[in-house]
Amino acid sequence: MIASVLTAAGLRTGLFTSPHLHRITERIRVDMEEISADRFAALVEELWPEVEAVEKRGDVGVVSVFELLTAMAFVEFRSVGADVQVIEVGLGGRLDATNLVTPDVAVITPISLDHTAVLGDTVPKIAFEKAGIIKPGVPVVVGNQAPAARPVIEHAAGERGSQVTYAHDHLSLARDAEQVTTTDGLRVQCLALQSASNEYRLELPLPGPHQVENAMTAITALETFASQRKLAISADSVSRGISAVRWPARAEVLTTQDEAVQIIVDGAHNSASAAALVTTLESLFPLAGRIVLVYAGSGGHDFTATAREFSRLAPQVIVTRTRHPKAVAAETVADALRCDNISVAAVTSDVESALREARLIASPGDVIIATGSLFVAAEVRETMLSIAPEIYPDMRGEMMPSYEESALSSTVPTTGNQPGPDARHGSS
- The pLDDT, as a whole number, for residue 397 is 45
Q: How far is CA 321 from the centre of its chain?
A: 20
- In terms of Cα–Cα distance, which of 89, 61, 65, 85 is closest to 74? 85
CA angle 182, 186, 192 (to 5 degrees): 65
Torsion, Cα of 260, 210, 192, 33 (10° steps): -80
d(CA 360, CA 383): 16
Per-residue pLDDT tens over the stretch 124-173: 899 999 999 999 999 999 999 989 999 999 999 999 999 999 999 999 99
55: CB partners within 8 A, 6+ apart: 62, 63, 410
Supply the CATH classification number for the domain 252-385: 3.90.190.20
- In terms of Cα–Cα distance, which of 327, 257, 322 is closest to 299? 327
Beta strand 367-371 pairing with 291-295: parallel
- In terms of Cα–Cα distance, which of 267, 253, 266 is closest to 205? 253
- The pLDDT, as a whole number, for residue 149 is 93
Q: How far is CA 30 from the centre of its chain?
A: 18
d(CA 347, CA 330): 7
Residue 172 pairs in a beta bridge with 194
- The pLDDT, as a whole number, for residue 400 is 40
pTM for the complete prediction? 0.87
Sheet containing strand 262-265, edge to edge, reads 252-253, 262-265, 367-371, 291-295, 316-319, 346-347
Sign of dihedral through CA atoms 240, 221, 138, 79?
negative
Q: Please count the other Cβ atoms lying within 10 Å of the Cβ belonging to residue 10.
A: 11
d(CA 71, CA 54): 13
Whether residue 208 contacts residue 277, with contact meaning beta carbons closer than 8 Å, is answered with yes
Phi-psi region of 300 (alpha: psi -120 to 50; beta: other; left: phi over 0): left
Supply the CATH classification number for the domain 2-243: 3.40.1190.10
In a structure prediction context, what are the per-residue pLDDT tens digits for the chain, which is 428 residues long? 999 999 999 999 999 999 999 999 999 999 999 999 999 999 999 999 999 999 999 888 889 999 999 999 999 999 999 999 999 999 888 999 999 999 999 999 998 776 666 777 798 899 999 999 999 999 999 999 989 999 999 999 999 999 999 999 999 999 888 888 776 777 899 999 999 989 999 999 999 999 999 999 999 999 999 999 999 999 999 999 999 999 999 999 999 888 999 999 999 988 889 999 999 998 888 777 899 999 998 877 788 888 888 888 899 999 999 998 888 899 999 998 998 888 899 999 999 999 999 999 999 999 999 999 999 999 999 999 999 988 866 544 444 433 333 344 433 333 333 334 443 333 32
d(CA 83, CA 44): 23
DSSP letter assigned to residue 270: S
Domain definitions of the chain by residue range:
2-243, 252-385
- The pLDDT, as a whole number, for residue 115 is 67
- The pLDDT, as a whole number, for residue 392 is 67
Do the domains at 2-243 and 252-385 have one common CATH topology? no
d(CA 108, CA 89): 10
